Amino acid sequence: MATEVLMPRQGQSVESCILVEWLVQEGERVSAGQPLASIETDKAVFEVESPADGVMLGHFFSAGEDIPVLTVIGAIGEEGEDVSGMRPDGGSESESDAVAEEAPAADIATEPAASEPEREPVASAPASSQTTTGSGVSPRARKMAAEAGLTVSGIAGTGPGGRVIARDVASAAESQPRMTPVARAAAGNGSVPAVGTGPGGMVVAGDIGTQEPVAASVQSFADREVPVKGIRKVIAAKMRESLSQTAQITLNKSFDATALLAYRASVKAQAEAMGLPNITINDLIAFATIRTLMRHPNLNAHFLGDKIVEFGHVHLGIATDTERGLMVPVVQGAEQMSLRQLSESIKPLAKACQSGSINPDLLQGGTFTITNLGVLGIESFTPVLNVPEVAILGVSGLFAKPVIEKGGNVKHVQAINLSLTVDHQAVDGAPAARFLKDLCTALEQISLTLAG
């Protein structure tokens, strides 16, 4: 009996996932635990594993579809099993179903009305030497070709009557380099490299091995449309919500980082000698922020419209840059941790975000957020609130700050600028300024802060 492949629930906060791609094709034999598909929540990318040994009998959804969790997305069983009854409402056609439905009526009528013919494996399907016309292309294949930048007129069809179907386009896409339309039109004038100089290795017109000069217009970059989906869609919605529902003001203040850098250097030397992970500047700033928040609970709070909730614990969000967009993993109960414990909690969360394996539940429940752009050399910026939090701290890079000494002499010290954005609905300017002043003092006297 066939086994259902379910869209898994990735954390209690996730209601649906996007099917990024199928990793195995229909008809392929798989083993239990083998990755079948990659899926994307609004926070991270995961793989769906096979629940059993058998043959991939059906894909019930196509790549790009947003599917509710615990929905049947495919079936594993033995070859020849009928899994049509497992297909949920709203599921898309499998390739085998599409081939049957795309066959011309005349061809279907000539088939004998006996038992169902034995289905040939995809790999052994004979390739037709007939090239296609517009009428010999299935809608699904035409869409796939357009997305892959392929011209269907040059693809040999293996469907009924030589019709081009999806598997033909997939095969052609694997064997041909990705090319811009202008490059494809010029391909007859010279050799085509396997990898071009365009975005993602796409072959552009200038890569074609022709002796003729390439027009300036051909050398220009092609426009690119990027769908707003997944984590980018969530970020866009949250930023719009943050700016439309809050009254944000930002205060800036720098602190003398001399003591902080000296302490960090000593701890780094000790860590290297003992084989321990390094303590970063961000770890020290996070620790001092947590200690300061315990004295300013009005900054460690949520604004909920008709009430403000001030929290007794600091659940610290650490904004993390990833290839897929900004993520904010949360260190729960950070006020109970030592500096070393805090550092060892932050690092694996950041790595999980960057690898796309973060549990979505670990991206929830923050009470205050730190975002650090210092490594990029930013001197000052305006962080946007992570609603419903009432405050967020931006950390910039080191810079030389002139300081007037007694006697009127001017010296330069290494300083770091902090930018505190607060929701003026919940926090007034003076309390926010006092928090920022106390935080800068705690960082300038980092040894006392750690001792306390």
Query: Is 130 inside a domain boundary?
Result: no
Query: Under a CB-based contact definition with an 8 Å cutoff, are residues 15 and 43 in contact?
Result: no
The two tokens of residue 436 are: 């920022």
Q: Are residues 290 and 429 in the same domain?
A: yes
Q: Could you list the residue range(s) of the whole structural domain that residue 38 is in?
A: 1-92
Which sequence positions are flagged as catalytic?
A: 424, 428
CATH of the domain at 70: 2.40.50.100
296 & 353 share domain = yes
- Asked whether residue 369 is domain-assigned, the answer is yes
191 shares a domain with 325: no
Which residues contact residue 114 at a Cβ distance below 8 angstroms, ignoring those fewer than 6 apart?
Answer: none
Rounded CA gap, 317 and 331, in Å?
A: 6
Domain count across the chain: 3
Q: Which of 192, 219, 246 is the last residue of a domain?
A: 219
pLDDT digits (tens, 9 = 90+) for 28-61: 999 999 999 988 876 667 789 999 999 999 999 9
- pLDDT value at 436 more than 60: yes
Separation of alpha carbons 260 and 255, rounded Å:
10
Going by C-alpha positions, the residue among 120, 21, 35, 24 that lies closest to residue 79 is 120
CA atoms within 13 A on the CB side of 107: 11
Q: Do residues 262 and 422 make contact, with C-beta atoms less than 8 angstroms apart?
A: no
- Minimal CA–CA distance to 423: which of 250, 219, 195? 250
Query: Same domain, yes or no, for 256 and 213?
Result: no
Residues 196 and 238 in one domain: no
Look at residue 280 and tell me if it is in a domain: yes
Question: What mean pLDDT is reported for the chain?
Answer: 81
Over the stretch 112-145, which tens digit does the pLDDT of each residue have?
444 444 444 433 333 333 444 444 777 667 777 7
Tell me how far CA of residue 282 lies from CA of 110, 158, 340, 341, in angstroms.
73, 59, 12, 14
For the chain, give the longest Cα–Cα distance.
105
Q: Is residue 370 part of a domain?
A: yes
8 Å CB contact between 67 and 73: yes
Unique residue bearing structure tokens 């106390």: 438
Shared domain check, 384 and 254: yes
In this structure, are 51 and 182 located in the same domain?
no
CATH number at residue 318: 3.30.559.10
Residue 134 lies in a domain: no
DSSP secondary structure letters along 188-205: GGSB--SS-SSGGG-B-G
Give the alpha-carbon dihedral of 138, 139, 141, 143, to 10 degrees: 160
Residue 118 lies in a domain: no
Hey, is 134 helix, strand or coil?
helix
Model pLDDT for residues 154-190, shown as the tens digit of each residue: 787 776 667 777 777 777 776 666 666 566 666 655 5
Task: Quote the tokens at residue 391.
Answer: 């405050």
Question: Residue 393: beta bridge partners?
Answer: 370, 420
Q: Are 183 and 42 in the same domain? A: no
Write out pLDDT tens, residues 198-254: 655 666 666 776 444 444 444 556 788 887 777 777 788 889 989 999 999 999 999
Q: Do 56 and 199 belong to one domain?
A: no
| Residue that terminates a domain, selected from 92, 121, 152 | 92
Q: Do residues 278 and 302 both lie within one domain?
A: yes
Residue-wise pLDDT tens digits, 357-392: 888 889 989 999 999 999 999 999 999 999 999 999
Query: Is 164 a member of any domain?
Result: no
DSSP label at residue 141: H
Residue 312 phi/psi, 5° resolution?
A: -80, -15
Q: How far is CA 293 from CA 77, 432, 442, in A?
A: 57, 11, 11
Residues 310 and 428 in one domain: yes
Residues 202 and 274 reside in one and the same domain: no
Instruction: Note whether residue 158 is domain-resident.
Output: no
Query: Which of 92, 118, 151 corresponds to the end of one domain?
Result: 92
